[in-house]
């Protein structure tokens, strides 16, 4: 993830902490005391965003392998197959997309007389994804032993496609529950805001006394624990 994405995660976490500080404490000092929570939230948001990017990259890499397999079966060399795949990915996703740049870099390294196996290994090290690393190892072994590259590439693409299909099926089954989870997550804060707007001063005792702040702290802990448990239950990765 680039710096812009990291800053977005931090801003999103700080915004959430700001809302919590206002709803549960109505105190600016609480915002600064809750910065450790903001750090944890930013890390969690970044982790989810990285996982989404990894799934996207895996799907695009699968399309690149399918393009390579078609090129090899058409009689092209493995080196030219990478170039053909880069052109196909540029057509599908755009020339500036990361996966397109990764395949173009393999072609550029080949033009610099770098061995193809090394260029593919460098691609795997750059992407840091298990499927791409596995492909790099299998591809290098096939090149050394004279294996059928078209079959190796196609089998790897089918393996990734199968994993993505299982992931999509799980997402489909969980999507309804995840929407319900988001709604239930928003209900307590919205309810507090509604009560405060319709009945000003109704919660004043909870913000102006030690006991009231203790109760609100307990409510915040219960709320965050429930959100964390809901995310863990629905976080099924393949």
pLDDT in tens, 214-235: 988 998 999 999 888 888 877 7
Percent of the chain with pLDDT over 90: 5
For the residues 194-207, what does the mean pLDDT come to? 82
pLDDT at 86 over 70: yes
Residue 238 has pLDDT above 70, yes or no: no
Q: Which of 7-11, 100-104, 199-203, 223-227 has the lowest mean pLDDT?
A: 199-203
Q: 206: closest CA among 33, 30, 25? A: 25
| Full-model pTM | 0.74
Q: What is the pLDDT of residues 53-70, one digit of tens each?
A: 888 888 888 888 888 888
């Amino acid at each position: 993830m680039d710096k812009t994405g990291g800053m977005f995660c931090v801003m999103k976490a700080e915004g959430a902490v700001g809302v919590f500080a206002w709803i549960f404490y109505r105190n600016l000092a609480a915002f600064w005391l809750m910065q450790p929570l903001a750090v944890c939230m930013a890390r969690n948001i970044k982790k989810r965003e990285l996982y989404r990017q990894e799934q996207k990259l895996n799907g695009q890499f699968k399309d690149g392998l399918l393009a390579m397999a078609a090129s090899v079966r058409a009689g092209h060399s493995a080196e030219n197959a990478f170039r053909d795949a880069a052109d196909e990915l540029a057509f599908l996703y755009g020339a500036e997309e990361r996966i397109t740049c990764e395949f173009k870099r393999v072609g550029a390294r080949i033009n610099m007389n770098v061995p193809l196996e090394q260029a593919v290994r460098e691609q795997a090290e750059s992407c840091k994804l298990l499927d791409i690393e596995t492909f790099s190892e299998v591809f290098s072994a096939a090149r050394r032993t004279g294996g059928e590259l078209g079959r190796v590439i196609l089998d790897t693409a089918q393996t990734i496609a199968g994993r993505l299909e299982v992931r999509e099926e799980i997402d489909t089954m969980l999507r309804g529950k995840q929407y319900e989870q988001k709604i239930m997550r928003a209900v307590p804060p919205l309810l507090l805001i509604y009560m405060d707007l319709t009945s000003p001063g109704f919660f004043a005792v909870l913000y102006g006394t030690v006991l009231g702040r203790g109760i609100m702290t307990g409510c915040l802990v219960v709320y965050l624990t429930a959100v964390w448990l809901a995310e863990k239950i629905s976080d099924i990765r393949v």
